[in-house]
Amino acid sequence: MSSSASYIMAALGLVLLVQAAFSADDTAPQVLSFDFAPRLLDLRAGDGEIVFTARLRDDESGLAGAFASFAHPQGGSFANVSFDPQSPVSKNRTDGHYLSRLTLPRDSPPGLWRLVSLVLADSAGNRRVMQAEDLEALGFPCRFEVVGDLEGENDSLQISSSSRASFRPTTFQLPGNRTLCYSSRGSSFTTVSNGATGTYLSQEYQYADTIRQVRYIRVDNNGSQMEAEGEFSGQGSWEYHKAGDGQSRPQEDPSFRGEEDYTGSFRFMQRIDEYGWNLQSERSISGQGAASVRQEVGPGMASYQRGTGQYQSQEVVQTEGGYLAKDLSVLQAPFNFSYSPGFGVSMNSSWREGLWSRSRAPAGQTGVDFGPALGQPATSIGQQFSGADRLQVKRVAWGPYQMEMEASFSGRADLRARVSGEDGGELDLDQTYLGEYDLSQKVGLAGASRHDHPRLEVRKEGTVSEGHYHGQDVLLARYAITVTNPGNQPLGPVHVQDLFPPQTTFVNASLRPEELTAQGANWTLTYLPVGSWATIELWLRVDQPGEALVNRVYAAGGHQGGWATAGNYSALEFDWLSCCPLPVAANMSARLDPDDPGVMVCQISFQNRASTAVAATVVDILPPGMEPISASLEPERSGRELRWIFPEVGAGRTVAIEYRARAPSEASFTSDLLVETAALDGSGSGRDMVTVTVPVTGAMDGWTRI
């Protein structure tokens, strides 16, 4: 026979009614075993159940009651599990095996639920209260994770809280002139688990004399935010995981992993904002004691510091692009900490700090990878300080390509930068400093550029498929926006603007937009090194599909001489046999340069004769052996194709392009021109083709329309 358990949406109120009788029994019940399964409860398909088992012993009076209480991840609610002393599965009340079932409804919040206490009482009035750390010390589990989805029109959770707690011993009177004294220090545990984006965040404080915290938490389908400010004197542990694809469990292939442990007295301020596939973290913490911090951005970047003494740190991490900025100041000093009366530790450790970043992950690893484009060199940068009595370091890293550092320290510094090409060539710079130094270093490892000037390219690819959103079957458009730096200078910041097609609604993106309206979204990328790229995924709901869906994107990247700009679009056709193609007129003429007969001057123009604005693509297929020299508007080149993209051409407007190309020998050449247009309002598309034949040794032979 099993006992019952209930899910209570209220603050914890625990009352045990025990009829006390005179007895010489003064020993509280004992826990011989405690377990439950499953420890990962998936509520996406409906209500879930956890089965608890325990072996409880009270040799004299017998068990009178047993309660286990688990805390809601965001606080304020509890799930209570009771074991019926009258119904052991086997044996009896003095030494029995018990079973209980806990049912959690489907709408229970996801996250890591943690045991608050296990309370045992016998018929003589003796009580034993065990906290999570007591059970964990015995090897018993104390946590289970709930996985759920956030579906519905109001798919968000928000919590704002402020708390302050101070430790004081507390004594209670028990029957029979007995007393019960609580002397354990304060503890607090908070978790945020977002199954929709594969994110897990937690804050835990133990053995604390004081805890003060002001906190804001928001969780929805697209991301999570946590802001906290406060101070504590005790032991604090923070943990963060973010799945690389935004959908896996956060411990699997994380794009971000952070673990921080502090013992002593510290003040802190932190902000974590995760959205889609990316995460940004900002934090500031100072105090005195022991600190151990490690942060990983995918398999390609890691930052760490640990030691004892005075500590002050400010850090910013962005998984998109692998950006990390750190301002750290530490001073070694011994540190003593008491966990309980009669038990304490003494620590005295010099400081170790470092950061490394590489462009290629070891085989078999996944997640965020700062891998360069095909043919780019593999790069790695590493900096480490160890055995430091004092250390002040300011550092900014942009992925595996650039790092700037200023440091003043007493100890050892190891600095390394490495570049290796696919042809076997390698450059390795290794420096070591031992003693007291002031250092400044800038490392830039650039990839191969395809142009001798700053340049930015943006591509946009889209697909449409049926999906499920807010409980309904809908049509979803998925876009991949890829921004590439093929120029000779790094770009930053890079602003990206996407203009949504009419009759579409924003659903989600892999990176949180800086600005989001019904018409479009804006993002800012911190840094784009030479030869690298960044991709933003975007999902839109198609409310009323027309003949075509035209989505436009613009990008601008800053460099030393100004801005490099680019634009592109995606046109997805629903009715490829539309009745009325849009009118467009293309023209092309060519002549030989009289000053250099081996150079052809080509003029291209097209007119949008439609009554609505269009996006247009112009493609000129060069003759074999023809090499472009210059153009009034620089094209994208792929083999023999020159391609110009115009995300918006107004009704009735004419666009003109002129370029020069060198012919290799005396002959006649034929150049083919294709112009394709798509109406921005989705009302249709159009195209036109022109062929021009040019004799290199003579005058213009003519042009023919196809």
Q: Where do you find CATH 2.60.40.740 in the chain?
A: 457-573, 584-705
- Between CA 100 and CA 106 the distance in angstroms is 20
Task: Read off the amino acid at residue 262.
Answer: Y
Q: Is the pLDDT of residue 348 over 50?
A: yes
- Percent of the chain exceeding pLDDT 90 equals 40
Among 231-245, 362-376, 467-481, name the one with the lowest average pLDDT. 362-376
* Greater model confidence, 278 or 306: 306
Q: How far, in Å, are 29, 137, 341 from residue 119 at the CA level?
A: 9, 16, 23
Cis peptide leading into 109, omega within 30 of 0?
no
Tokens of 219: 């969780």
Cis peptide leading into 73, omega within 30 of 0?
no
CATH topology of domain 457-573: Immunoglobulin-like (2.60.40)
Burial (Cβ within 10 Å: 0-12, 13-18, ≥19) of residue 364: exposed
Q: Which pLDDT value is given to residue 200? A: 86
Task: Read off the amino acid at residue 446.
Answer: A
Q: Which pLDDT value is given to residue 321? A: 79
CATH topology of domain 5-147: Immunoglobulin-like (2.60.40)
**Average pLDDT for 323-350:** 91
Mode of pairing for the β-strands spanning 40-42 and 143-147:
parallel
For residue 320, the cross-strand partners are: none
- Between CA 133 and CA 379 the distance in angstroms is 44
Which of the 8 DSSP states describes residue 581? P
**Average pLDDT for 581-602:** 85
Q: Could you count the other beta carbons within 10 Å of the beta carbon of residue 192?
A: 26
| 358, 398 Cβ separation under 8 angstroms | no
- Closest of 141, 244, 143, 240 to residue 193, by C-alpha: 240
* Greater model confidence, 219 or 440: 440
* Greater model confidence, 675 or 45: 675
Position 532 confidence tier, pLDDT thresholds 50, 70, 90: confident
Q: Which pLDDT value is given to residue 2? A: 35
**Average pLDDT for 624-652:** 90
| 231, 266 Cβ separation under 8 angstroms | yes
Position 578 confidence tier, pLDDT thresholds 50, 70, 90: low
**Average pLDDT for 574-586:** 74
pLDDT in tens, 480-510: 999 999 898 889 899 999 999 998 999 989 8
* Greater model confidence, 167 or 432: 432
**Average pLDDT for 224-249:** 82
pLDDT in tens, 559-572: 998 999 999 999 98
Which numeric CATH code is attached to 584-705?
A: 2.60.40.740
Q: Which pLDDT value is given to residue 91? A: 80
Q: Where do you find CATH 2.60.40.3880 in the chain?
A: 5-147
Q: Which pLDDT value is given to residue 492? A: 86
* Greater model confidence, 247 or 201: 201
Alpha-carbon Rg for the chain, nearest whole angstrom, is 33
Cis peptide leading into 581, omega within 30 of 0?
no
Q: How far, in Å, are 5, 232, 302 from residue 295 at the CA level?
A: 40, 22, 6
Q: DSSP 3-state helix, strand, coil percentages of the chain (rounded to 5)? A: 0, 65, 35
**Average pLDDT for 295-320:** 92
pTM score above 0.85: no
- Percent of the chain exceeding pLDDT 70 equals 86
Q: Which pLDDT value is given to residue 313? A: 97
| 348, 340 Cβ separation under 8 angstroms | no
SS3 of 70-91: EECCCCCCEEEEEECCCCCCEE
Q: Which pLDDT value is given to residue 433? A: 96
Q: Which pLDDT value is given to residue 16? A: 34
SS3 135: helix
pLDDT in tens, 121-133: 888 888 898 988 8
User: Token match 């395809």: residue?
Assistant: 450
Q: Is the pLDDT of residue 576 over 90?
A: no
pLDDT in tens, 357-411: 887 543 333 333 344 433 456 788 999 999 999 999 999 998 788 899 999 999 9
Q: Which pLDDT value is given to residue 319? A: 87
Q: Which pLDDT value is given to residue 233? A: 95
Position 1 confidence tier, pLDDT thresholds 50, 70, 90: very low
What are residue 636's phi and psi, to 5 degrees?
A: -90, 135
**Average pLDDT for 423-434:** 84
Q: Is the pLDDT of residue 183 over 90?
A: no
Mean pLDDT of the chain: 83
Question: What number of helices (H) and strands (E) belong to the chain?
Answer: 1, 46
Q: Which pLDDT value is given to residue 488? A: 87
Q: Which pLDDT value is given to residue 600? A: 84
Q: Which pLDDT value is given to residue 24? A: 62
- Closest of 351, 268, 266, 352 to residue 314, by C-alpha: 268
